[in-house]
Structure 1
Amino acid sequence: MSDDGAVPAYAVGLISDVTINEELLEYMSLIEATIVRFGGHWITHGRSPEIREGRSVGDIVVLGFPDLTSARAWYDSAEYQAIIPLRTRNSHAILAIVEGVPAGYTTEATIQKLRPHRA
């Protein structure tokens, strides 16, 4: 959680079937400025996961943002939208934006919310 009480958010990409070419390298050189503009930073970039359960999904990219509003604004920005085709023409990706949890989070509050809905 940031000093102002905002809960961080993350953009998570699962990237596979990558063709490394000039378009993809251009995307990589341009994306960073779009991320920084919205207070984002790299958590992990293009790392191959150590699979413990299930099947490999390709490489993982995680971007951290100060809050959900910033993450959404980054993705929806004209600057980022303009470069997306450079990536999509050269890879397959699943990209999701997800809100983090506040500092001090424990599962107990979620358990209490879910208890009435149990099977």
Structure 2
Amino acid sequence: MSSAYVIARLRKGPLHADLAEYIERIPGTFEPFGGRFLVHVTPHEVLEGSWDEDVVMIGFPGVEEARAWWESPAYQEIAPLRTRHLDGDIILIRGVPEGYDATKTAAGLRGMLKGQE
């Protein structure tokens, strides 16, 4: 089983008491699903392109746990505290499995490219 991650790219907005409440309450919503903050609005350095938004990343044991957290009544109850004040994009993504080898992915890509010649 691969780990899973919920990644949020949040546009900066005005401060509001709802956001403080959301931040206080969110850890309690993902802990029952094995989730934890990996990144939480920490300073970042743009290496390529542009990225002015804040980043939040929560790790989970798997996609099922991440989806269960997102759909949970506990999280859905507090989500409006954020969505009323901040716009952003949020994705759920699988991590690579243990022992992932990128060279095998490259070999498959080379095979597909060979068929296009």
Q: Provide the TM-score with structure 1 as the length reference.
A: 0.87
Listed as ranges, the gaps of 5+ residues in structure 2 are none
Q: Provide the secondary structure at the position in 2 that maps to 1:13.
A: strand
| Partner Cα separation in structure 1 for residue 104 and residue 73 of structure 2 | 38
| Partner Cα separation in structure 2 for residue 109 and residue 11 of structure 1 | 26
Cα deviation for residue 16 of structure 1 reads 1.3
| Partner Cα separation in structure 1 for residue 109 and residue 10 of structure 2 | 32
Instruction: Tell me what 1:95 maps to.
Output: 90
Instruction: Tell me what 2:22 maps to.
Output: 27
Are 1:7 and 1:67, in contact at CA under 8 Å, matched by a contact in 2? Answer: yes
Are 2:7 and 2:57, in contact at CA under 8 Å, matched by a contact in 1? Answer: yes
2:43 equivalent to 1:48: yes
Listed as ranges, the gaps of 5+ residues in structure 1 are 1-5
Counterpart amino acid of 2:59? G
| Partner Cα separation in structure 1 for residue 100 and residue 52 of structure 2 | 28
Cα deviation for residue 116 of structure 1 reads 4.3
RMSD of Structure 2 on Structure 1 (CA)? 1.4
Q: Provide the secondary structure at the position in 1 that maps to 2:50.
A: coil
Q: Provide the TM-score with structure 2 as the length reference.
A: 0.88
Instruction: Tell me what 1:63 maps to.
Output: 58
Aligned residues: 114
Cα deviation for residue 91 of structure 1 reads 0.9
Are 2:12 and 2:54, in contact at CA under 8 Å, matched by a contact in 1? Answer: no
Q: Which runs of 4+ in 1 moved over 6 A?
A: none
Cα deviation for residue 76 of structure 1 reads 1.1
